[in-house]
Amino acid sequence: MSKAPVVAIMGATGAVGVELISILEERNFPVAKLRLLASARSVGKKMKFRGEEITVELLTHDCFAGVDLVLASAGGSISKEFAPSAVKAGAVVVDNTSYFRMHDEVPLVVPEVNPGDIAKHKGIIANPNCSTIIMNLPVYPLHQAFKVKRAVVSTYQAASGAGATAMEELKQETAAILEGKSFTPTVITQPYAFNIFPHNAKMLDNGYNEEEVKMVKETKKIFHDESFKCTATCVRVPVMRAHSESINLEFEKPFTLEEAYAILRKAPGVTVWEDRANNRWPTPLMVAGQDNVFVGRLRRDETIANGLELWVVGDQIRKGAALNAVQIAEMLKF
Amino acid sequence: MSKAPVVAIMGATGAVGVELISILEERNFPVAKLRLLASARSVGKKMKFRGEEITVELLTHDCFAGVDLVLASAGGSISKEFAPSAVKAGAVVVDNTSYFRMHDEVPLVVPEVNPGDIAKHKGIIANPNCSTIIMNLPVYPLHQAFKVKRAVVSTYQAASGAGATAMEELKQETAAILEGKSFTPTVITQPYAFNIFPHNAKMLDNGYNEEEVKMVKETKKIFHDESFKCTATCVRVPVMRAHSESINLEFEKPFTLEEAYAILRKAPGVTVWEDRANNRWPTPLMVAGQDNVFVGRLRRDETIANGLELWVVGDQIRKGAALNAVQIAEMLKF
């Protein structure tokens, strides 16, 4: 970067917005000025950045004058409406919502996988779905080495994917259930305390939900490989902020477990973590707050010729959203 | 049955023991006399059966005189030690532990799948692992129709699999965490509240844990099909008493979704439950206390020729353990 950009966060008060502010601070991202944009409900709220109080302003079509970088995380419909205004005002938008992800002219980027796509942007760069990013980090280097013929994935997704209000509601609902009280949820409208359920994303005609289809379609775009075959089952579990994934890979080429471990040990953004003697593996609580995606339990699936099972856990708010967006921004020139 | 048997429950005070008593009562199982056997710690405890108080007696090698049927659920080492004494005294043992399951001379039975094996017993009949039973109910009729070439399974397992003490500990741990207090677990010795972790069963040299291997080996024995290929990832989730399974099946033969639904709708022990319009599917809380295994979300996996994804939920304590054992007992002659 040649000069520090003026940065605006759209959706500053949400789970990802709060994390964006703290990651900009942690990573010492050059910021000439930080502006926090949100809906009328949050206007006037004060949030801290580098020891300074910043007042949340109203998000409008005219608010982007002088802004160089927008980090957007206020929902797909908000990005659809306001991102073009930001681009018109001269800003680059790193959009954390799903709205632009599959648009042909919008790069969809996991910096460890396809950093070269960033330069192709026309004002908007999309941040992939959290489950996609977390799967892509360990799978991409294995795909490069052994070519994935087919992936079968089951997820164990945290409340944070549904936002800060869902996280708070899960706590309140759990406390109520433990006290034998009834609870009427408003964010996740089915029982969530001590329960799991197939992901509440919109159902499609083929029986998959949108979250599952995102994992498949986005991965093809990020890997630049339309032949990548993947089927997913996405499930919410009563966990706060890290997603886990049980991933079964069938490779074209033969491999050894030693080779697979070696590839993952040097893969960017990946931490191989195992305590085999004590039967301990990455868990959501262990990985919460971590930048890297944690991987373990590599084992050969003997039901096919070149089969590998692995267990993957990543912080949904960080690498699954805010961190990935800031990493993209770090690769931009201002 | 020609005469009502004298029934003894080994491990009467555990989660499965308590359920056994209530299922015998519910199903009006003919019982001439019920005896409750347990370790010294529980002796003298009183439990209700058909309105009558029964006092827990000490389990000893000599306690089986006059007993016709033993329902054993006190752990593998207890069954190993005491089941032969029960058989010697003339009783038939339906053993809910893992100890005898893979012994050649011991039938391993899911009544809806291989009821014919019951007659081959030599005193002991084994009840399969809970995750195995729950998978077998919907998979067996599909396997008969289309022949499973390969199954990839990921589980979402409840606390009840680790016993009543694990269920109670999960509640206490969750309450402590919500109050910001520390908690030292004694049953599940890693963080479980708002967390998930790969199943804590013993790790084997091939990287799978015993729970995963049980699902594969037991299914082959129950299906009488050593060619049945299955790979499993078993995970514990903070849920009380029902297990969920994400099952991906590859069939030898072509199928239609309509055929698969029709087969499951008439499959014994299976309930197809979906509320597609509201994006609702079977969940652990919905299925807790139910006899049947609930199935939904059938969808074609387009990454292979004959691929089917399905979502399965079953009560671990009932069909996964106590109910299956009582169903076996109902098929015995006394």
Q: Which residues pair with B57 in a beta bridge?
A: B37
pLDDT number for residue A3: 86
Per-residue pLDDT band at B334 (split at 50, 70, 90): confident
The whole-angstrom separation of Cα A83 and Cα A106 is 12
The average confidence (pLDDT) of chain B is: 97
Mutate to test the interface with B, among A152, A212, A235 (most CBs of B within 10 A): A152
Calculate mean pLDDT across residues A289-293.
97
Residue A333 pLDDT greater than 80, yes or no: yes
Q: Which residues have C-beta within 8 Å of that of residue B159, sequence separation ≥ 6?
A: B166, B167, B169, B170, B188, B192, B236, B238, B239, B240, B241
- Which residue from A minimizes the CA distance to B308? A231
The answer to whether B122 and B103 have CB atoms below 8 angstroms apart is no
The average confidence (pLDDT) of chain A is: 97
Residue B243 annotated as catalytic: yes
pLDDT number for residue B51: 95
Each residue of B191-202: pLDDT tens digit?
A: 999 999 999 999
Name the residue type at position A70: V
Each residue of B174-184: pLDDT tens digit?
A: 999 999 999 99
pLDDT number for residue A334: 87
Tell me how far CA of residue B323 lies from CA of A55, A183, B6, B259, B292, in angstroms. 61, 31, 18, 29, 10
Domain B132-316 has CATH 3.30.360.10: yes
The answer to whether A296 and A273 have CB atoms below 8 angstroms apart is yes
Each residue of A118-137: pLDDT tens digit?
A: 999 999 999 999 999 999 99
Q: What percent of chain B has pLDDT over 90?
A: 98
The whole-angstrom separation of Cα B74 and Cα B86 is 14
Q: Write the residue in B257, B284, B304 that is nearest to A150 by C-beta.
A: B304
pLDDT number for residue B267: 98
The answer to whether A179 and B273 have CB atoms below 8 angstroms apart is no
Per-residue pLDDT band at A283 (split at 50, 70, 90): very high
A182 — contact with chain B (CB < 8 Å)? no
pLDDT number for residue A219: 98
Closest CA to A127 of A141, A114, A140, A139: A114
The answer, yes or no, to whether ipTM is higher than 0.85 is: yes
Token pair 């043992």 is found at B93
The answer to whether B134 and B110 have CB atoms below 8 angstroms apart is no
Per-residue pLDDT band at A224 (split at 50, 70, 90): very high
pLDDT number for residue B171: 98
Residue A17 pLDDT greater than 80, yes or no: yes
Each residue of A149-206: pLDDT tens digit?
A: 999 999 999 999 999 999 999 999 999 999 999 999 999 999 999 999 999 999 999 9
How far is B296 from chain A, CA to nearest CA, in Å? 10
How far is B304 from chain A, CA to nearest CA, in Å? 9
Calculate mean pLDDT across residues B90-98.
97
The answer to whether B7 and B68 have CB atoms below 8 angstroms apart is yes
A301 — contact with chain B (CB < 8 Å)? yes
Task: List, as one string, the DSSP characters of B143-209.
Answer: HHHH-EEEEEEEEEB-GGGG-HHHHHHHHHHHHHHHTT-----SSS-S--TT--EE--SPB-TTS-B
Tell me how far CA of residue A167 lies from CA of A73, A143, B117, B285, in angstroms. 17, 34, 49, 19
Each residue of B277-299: pLDDT tens digit?
A: 999 999 999 999 999 999 999 99
Residue A97 pLDDT greater than 90, yes or no: yes
Q: Which residues pair with B7 in a beta bridge?
A: B34, B69
Range(s) for CATH 3.30.360.10 in chain A?
Answer: 132-316
Each residue of A107-116: pLDDT tens digit?
A: 999 999 999 9
Q: Write the residue in B152, B196, B229 that is nearest to A239 by C-beta.
A: B196
Q: Catalytic amino acids of A?
A: 130, 243
The whole-angstrom separation of Cα B30 and Cα A301 is 46
Task: List, as one string, the DSSP characters of B35-56.
Answer: EEEE-GGGTT-EEEETTEEEE-
The whole-angstrom separation of Cα B135 and Cα B246 is 9
Calculate mean pLDDT across residues A226-237.
98
pLDDT number for residue B3: 86
pLDDT number for residue A275: 97
Chain-chain contact of A231 with B309 (C-beta, under 8 angstroms)? yes
Tell me the angle at which helices A210-223 and A130-146 cross, rounded to the nearest 10 degrees. Answer: 40
The answer to whether A331 and A107 have CB atoms below 8 angstroms apart is no
Residue B1 pLDDT greater than 60, yes or no: no
**Cα dihedral A17/A19/A22/A28 (nearest 10):** -90
When the candidates are 2.40.10.10, 3.40.630.10, 3.40.50.720, 3.40.50.360, the CATH number that belongs to B6-128+321-330 is 3.40.50.720
Residue B63 annotated as catalytic: no
How far is B22 from chain A, CA to nearest CA, in Å? 23
The answer to whether B82 and B59 have CB atoms below 8 angstroms apart is yes
Calculate mean pLDDT across residues A75-88.
97
Q: Write the residue in B198, B206, B238 that is nearest to A281 by C-beta.
A: B198
B176 — contact with chain A (CB < 8 Å)? no
Token pair 């019951």 is found at B118
Structure token digits, residue B103: 């012994």
The answer to whether A270 and A291 have CB atoms below 8 angstroms apart is no
Task: List, as one string, the DSSP characters of A156-207.
Answer: EB-GGGG-HHHHHHHHHHHHHHHTT-----SSS-S--TT--EE--SPB-TTS
The whole-angstrom separation of Cα A127 and Cα A71 is 10
Name the residue type at position B41: R
For residue A2, what is the DSSP state?
Answer: -
pLDDT number for residue B221: 98
